[in-house]
A and B are shown apart, each in its own frame.
Chain A
Amino acid sequence: MEYEIKPKEKFSLGLRELWQYKELFYFFTWRDVKVKYKQTALGFAWVILQPFFMMVIFSLFFGKALNIPSENIPYPLFVFSGLILWNVFSVGVTVAGNGMISNANIIKKIYFPRLIIPISSVLVSLFDFLIAFMIFIGMLIYYQVSFSILKFLVYVPLGLIITSISTFGMGTLLAALNIKYRDFRYVIPFLIQALLFVTPVIYPVSILTNQWIRYIVALNPMYSAITLFRLGIVDSPVQLNLVLISLLSSVLCFIIGLYYFRKTENYFADLA
């Protein structure tokens, strides 16, 4: 085995190297999952309780009090279907975005493909999703929603994949920016909060009467993820052009994030 260490010349994804380190994905993910709930009294119950209470609160205030429509399904189910994907995104982006700084001690001392850190942050948030998804199934049974199994099997994974791609893209971009400009530590929570308002989690896009506002909402990568995910359980009219814009934005997010991260990652250890 012979290899060279030299100044970086051309851009590459480094997939082969990533594959060599595949066990580290498992260990980082497993560590974060384990540590996250280890010291809490309720432990893993939080994975269920957190989105559950969010759903209850949203249902009371937006569903009952404000009477926000919910596209032919009960409002709690509507809001929960959006929330579980939104949680993947918000938790994933936050953890990945701060990942280079919170793992700075490791980055400065050991080499491994840096992409492992944001990827495993996304994996951790997907793990939370799996557990919350069980409640989702429970709610579908409770509300006796009838839906086509085929559509469910197509749209639900599709929504999840778009979510993962957007989370990864946004997470890597912020991680790389954050290590260079620490200002992003303050930008991330603000960004997540602002994005929630332009994501159809608590309201359907149909209540937006102004077409231009709809276009702005569609720039958000999570718009297509949540809209498609909901198509799995309910038939509702979808504005195809909006979904496509959002899909494009999600793919762009992924490409820009990955590119910028790979381009700058060599110098993370010097900056951390």
Chain B
Amino acid sequence: MKPVLEIQNISKKFRIHHENQPYLSLRDSLASVFKRGTSSTEDFFALSDVSFNVNSGESIGIIGKNGAGKSTLLKILSKITPPTSGKIISRGRIASLLEVGTGFHAELSGRENIFLNGSILGMKRSEIQRNFDAIIDFAGVEKFLDTPLKHYSSGMQLRLAFAVAAFLENEILIIDEVLAVGDAEFQKKCMGKMEDVSRNEGRTVLFVSHNMKAVQQLCKRIVWIHNGKVHSDGLSRDISDNYLKTTSVNTSYNEIKALIDNLPSDPDFKLENICITQNKVEGSQLYNGESFQIEIHYRVLKQCLGLRVYFDLCDNDENILIRSFNDENLEEIPVVMPGNYVSTATIPSNLLAAVSYELRIHAGIYNVKMCTPELGIRIPIDINSSNKINIAYSGDTIRSKISPFINWKNLFITT
């Protein structure tokens, strides 16, 4: 059987204008007629010579750093923008979900939006009608069907949007990080639906995500795009291991720094930096056989009573496993003087399981206010196994969310 998608030598060139203009203006176009040769443009290849085939029923993960060209590839596949050269042969209808809820209109009711969004996504009216009950059931918005969308919570809007998309009947689905949003329960439901689509309904899925866990769960094969080229293409497990190794921790660190710099300013408190270090190496790839440090650098701008920083260690279902405050050893509420501080928490060795966690850094003034966003500064951390727990039973899956080293004594009493 012929592959359902043949991507052949696709390149996409963008022209960069060096004057930092968001768009062309007529004046400049007119002016450039008179001064030829002074234009300061540069060609940039977002994709160069990308080729791979996709077989029918396959689900493929497309991974790569921000700016690697993944989104451009998806845009070309979904015909939003044409390639500069090369071609794609498609043997099925492609539906693309580059965003959930494209074309939703706040003034229209839930019912109306289902029809509008469905038809923008390319569904026939009869298809929408046929799946209508299933869509509202999946989204769980029966009661609000005739309420304008603007009165929906953002979670409800998202559920509705995903529900419409989930019932697309196209042979090829292109999905871009739609799962990055929503609460844990709904994310699980979405993942379930997507697995269902690719495994049981035999449809072809191209899935782009930064969430390696989700990619691994959904896809047997991964195409890794790096600097506009196919870096490697192969079994999910092999590629994702390599990918995780090379995507240096620095990227996530830069993101943390940028996130902190963009926080809204607070009159009392300024978060300066957060570092996670293990054996003096910074990063979010950690091992559970050794302790690691969480350093919080901050500046107190005014004298405060009960200002404290703390962290939550959460599992992937958003349960808080550990919450610990920087002043929890004190007996009285302290007065914190203005100045620069570094608070360091040490997470002991042999405490965490070899899974992914999320660290949430918070700061607040007791009984007054929080100085950080509601969910804190969220830093994903991956714990890798290096301790010696259960080493004899290596195939056994970890069932506990933390796995501290517990001291056992086994006494042989009698026969």
A residues engaging B (CB < 8 A)? 1-8, 23-24, 27, 31, 34-35, 38-39, 105-112, 180-184, 266-267, 269-271
Contacts and interface: CB of A to CB of B under 8 A. Distances in A.
Contacts of A183: 25-27
A202 B80 CA distance: 45
Contacts of B84: 7
B80 A111 contact: yes
B301 interface: no
B82 A31 contact: no
B80 A109 contact: yes
Given A3-B90, A34-B108, A181-B23, 5 more contacts: A2-B91, A6-B86, A107-B80, A110-B103, A111-B78
Given A8-B82, A35-B108, A269-B81, A110 B87 contact: no
A105 B25 contact: no
B23 A110 contact: no
Contact of B81 (A180, A184, A270): A270
Contacts of A108: 80
A181 B89 contact: no
A7 B98 contact: no
A180 B25 CA distance: 8
A267 B115 CA distance: 28
B24 A180 contact: yes
20 contacts: A5-B90, A7-B82, A7-B83, A23-B124, A24-B120, A27-B120, A31-B108, A34-B108, A34-B112, A109-B98, A109-B102, A110-B102, A110-B121, A111-B78, A112-B122, A181-B25, A182-B23, A266-B81, A270-B81, A271-B24
B93 A2 contact: no
Contacts of B76: 5
Interface in B67-98: 75-93, 96, 98
Q: Which of B75, B80, B107 has the most CB of A within 10 A?
A: B80
B33 to A, nearest CB: 14
A4 B124 CA distance: 22
A111 to B, nearest CB: 4
Contacts of B93: 1
Contacts of A2: 89-91
Nearest to A184: B26
A270 B12 CA distance: 11
Interface residues of B, number: 43
A31 B112 CA distance: 9
A5 B82 contact: yes
A5 B116 contact: no
A236 B81 CA distance: 52
Given A181-B25, A183-B26, A6 B78 contact: no
B91 A1 contact: yes
A1 B2 CA distance: 12
Contacts of B119: 23-24, 27
A184 B23 CA distance: 13
B85 A7 contact: yes
A111 B23 CA distance: 22
A38 B107 contact: yes
A271 B23 contact: yes
Contacts of A109: 80, 96, 98-99, 102
B360 interface: no
B414 interface: no
Interface in B350-406: none
A266 B25 CA distance: 19
A31 B75 CA distance: 26
Interface in B265-305: none
Q: Which of B89, B107, B119 has the most CB of A within 10 A?
A: B119
B140 to A, nearest CB: 24
Nearest to A21: B122
B29 A181 contact: yes
B105 A31 contact: yes
B120 A112 contact: yes
A235 to B, nearest CB: 46
A110 B78 contact: yes
B237 interface: no
B44 interface: no
A4 B87 contact: yes
Query: Which 5 A-B residue pairings sit nearest by Cβ, starting from the closest?
Result: A6-B87, A111-B79, A181-B26, A5-B88, A183-B26
B257 interface: no
B188 interface: no
Q: Which of B81, B105, B115 has the most CB of A within 10 A?
A: B81
Interface string B110-132: 00100110011110110000000
A181 B29 CA distance: 9
Nearest to B22: A182
B146 to A, nearest CB: 13
Contacts of B86: 6
Contacts of B24: 180-181, 271
Nearest to B72: A270
Q: Which of A5, A8, A183 has the most CB of B within 10 A?
A: A5
A34 B82 CA distance: 33
A112 B116 CA distance: 13
B96 A111 contact: yes
